[in-house]
Amino acid sequence: MCARGKNMNNCAIVGINWGDEGKGRMVDLITENYDIVVRYQGGGNAGHTVINDKGKFALHLLPSGIFRSGVINIIGNGVALDPENLQHEIQELQSKGVMVTPDNLKISSRASLLLPWHRDLDELEENRLADRKYGSTKQGIAPFYSDKYQKKTVLAGEIFHPEELRSHLEELLEWKNLTLTRVYGAEPYTMEKLNEWTDLYCGFIKPFICDTEEILETAQEEGKNILFEAQLGALRDLDYGIYPYTTSSNTTAAYAPIGSGLPSLKLSEIIGVVKAYSTCVGEGPFVSEMSGEEADKLREAGSEYGAKTGRARRVGALDLVATKYGVKVQNATKLALTKLDVLSNLDRIPVCVSYTVNGRKTDRFPFPTDLADASPVIEWVKGWNCDISNIRHFEDLPKQARDYVKMIEEAVGCPIAYVSVGAERDSIIIR
Ligand code: GDP
Ligand code: MG
């Protein structure tokens, strides 16, 4: 019998909404049952907060399985590999006593490098757009992916071929300087500057770079459990999200086989992470957005400030239209509902149950252009008005909280298997 597929569990953890749903927190919890965790898309613009026995961390490029001993963490080929950011992140974790070595962190030799000018171009373009800006985190993600698809960046594995790498970078430098100087009127890069960058940062990440595809193939043959960690959420997916207010990669579970380095992957489980209310960082339509004092109260209660940028997140009512769409796009088999505890001090809780688009009521998530004309249909449900952060069994939750969970399940057509009632690893109700 072919060993491939025996007893193995391939699970993806993905965002259902705009991101910041608590994916890092869920990955950190669930990795207990996994051998390998793979980040398969996105880049250093991610901010995955993890609070566990080792402290409080905001992870950007590193997979959230990095805290569990025995777990192998892989940065897949689909990730925007920023050597500079990664070096800082690894060193920060090491300084807090977290072990990050080539034994527990492996970088795909097929990952493309985010080069120093990508960050500059991100900033130059956002400045050019001024008040029409996308709200980029300015980590160079959009310029990076554009260049990747234009075949104008380098693969991490090229670091093992210094001469070829140098001449490849020389070619890219000549091309990129045309854009920097003639489009944006910015300073050109020099090879000297680029060599400095390569020596400093590429040298640091070199020991972690290897053939991660082989590791994954072997793990698959041995029936190991592999977890696939996504960044952002369904509404930011390049193809299925609110274009152009998306990110520049695919945040969906469907991209895991491509971006991880395991093209034959069949996911056995997809856990979609949903926040008990909505938040959105950056620009773009946000139908259930709240404003004024009510919004400020919710933002404070949920500490809704970006893990990467510190920016105040826009907040709103739980959006069942967007959430149902997110569940469909992610093909989620289970949901994890996070931050239910944050709603504990509300007498009544707003829920966006449908939209009105051009005078018509709909529960189907509209085409991006139509979203600008959508207004929310809000219903209010009763709050529970008591602290639930110490509850660990679903039956012990107040009836109104249980009803809130059941209402979501019913509306989006997917079971909620986890209810998170705090940021700490064990603040979880498993149903
Ligand atoms: P990610 O990008 O999806 O990993 O999510 P972020 O880390 O950006 O944002 C989630 C925030 O909520 C973090 O600050 C977490 O520590 C926090 N968090 C996660 N789950 C819960 C929860 O159930 N309750 C509370 N109060 N905070 C939570
Ligand atoms: Mg985040």
Dist. CA 11 → ligand 1 center (Å): 20
Contact 236, 251 (CB under 8 A): yes
| Average confidence (pLDDT) over 358-385 | 96
| Average confidence (pLDDT) over 240-250 | 96
Q: Which atom of ligand 1 is nearest to the CA of 273?
A: 3
| Average confidence (pLDDT) over 411-428 | 97
For the chain, counts of helices (H) and of strands (E): 13, 20
Q: What is the pLDDT of residue 4?
A: 39
Dist. CA 402 → ligand 1 center (Å): 20
| Average confidence (pLDDT) over 332-344 | 98
Q: What is the pLDDT of residue 8?
A: 64
pLDDT bracket for residue 130 (50, 70, 90): confident
Portion of the chain with pLDDT greater than 90, in percent: 90
* The pLDDT of residue 331 is above 80: yes
The Cα 369–Cα 358 span in angstroms is: 12
The helix/strand/coil state of 171 is: helix
Q: Which atom of ligand 1 is nearest to the CA of 306?
A: 8
Dist. CA 349 → ligand 1 center (Å): 20
Q: What is the pLDDT of residue 6?
A: 46
Q: Which atom of ligand 1 is nearest to the CA of 15?
A: 3
Active site residues: 20, 48
| Nearest-10 crossing angle of helices 116-129, 141-149 | 110
Q: What is the pLDDT of residue 3?
A: 37
pLDDT bracket for residue 164 (50, 70, 90): very high
- With the most atoms of ligand 1 within 8 angstroms of its CB, the residue from 28, 232, 339 to mutate is 339
* The pLDDT of residue 431 is above 80: yes
* The pLDDT of residue 135 is above 90: no
Residues with CB under 6 A from ligand 1: 15, 19-25, 47-49, 51, 307, 338-339, 341-342, 420-423
Dist. CA 289 → ligand 1 center (Å): 19
Q: What is the C-alpha end-to-end distance of the chain, expressed in Å? A: 35
Condensed to tens digits (0 to 9), the pLDDT of residues 152-163 reads 999 999 999 999
* The pLDDT of residue 372 is above 80: yes
Nearest residue by C-alpha to atom 16 in ligand 1: 423
pLDDT bracket for residue 134 (50, 70, 90): confident
Q: What is the pLDDT of residue 7?
A: 52
For 345, what's the count of Cα atoms within 13 Å in the CB-facing half-sphere?
8
* The pLDDT of residue 2 is above 80: no
Q: Tell me the ligand closest to 57's alpha carbon.
A: 1
Burial degree of 393 (CB within 10 A; 0-12, 13-18, 19+)? exposed
Q: Tell me the ligand closest to 58's alpha carbon.
A: 1
Dist. CA 7 → ligand 1 center (Å): 31
pTM: 0.95
pLDDT bracket for residue 343 (50, 70, 90): very high
| Average confidence (pLDDT) over 351-361 | 96
Condensed to tens digits (0 to 9), the pLDDT of residues 259-308 reads 999 999 999 999 999 999 999 988 899 999 999 999 999 999 999 987 66
* The pLDDT of residue 194 is above 90: yes
Q: Tell me the ligand closest to 229's alpha carbon.
A: 1
pLDDT bracket for residue 311 (50, 70, 90): confident
Give Cα 66 to chain centroid, integer Å: 16
Q: Give the Å distances, CA to CA, from 238 to 11, 46, 81, 111, 256.
A: 22, 15, 18, 19, 14
pLDDT bracket for residue 248 (50, 70, 90): very high
Nearest residue by C-alpha to atom 26 in ligand 1: 422
Nearest Cα residue to 322 out of 270, 360, 379, 374: 374
Q: What is the pLDDT of residue 60?
A: 95
For 139, what's the count of Cα atoms within 13 Å in the CB-facing half-sphere?
24
Residues paired with residue 374 on neighbouring β-strands, in sequence order: 357
Nearest residue by C-alpha to atom 25 in ligand 1: 422
The Cα 116–Cα 309 span in angstroms is: 19
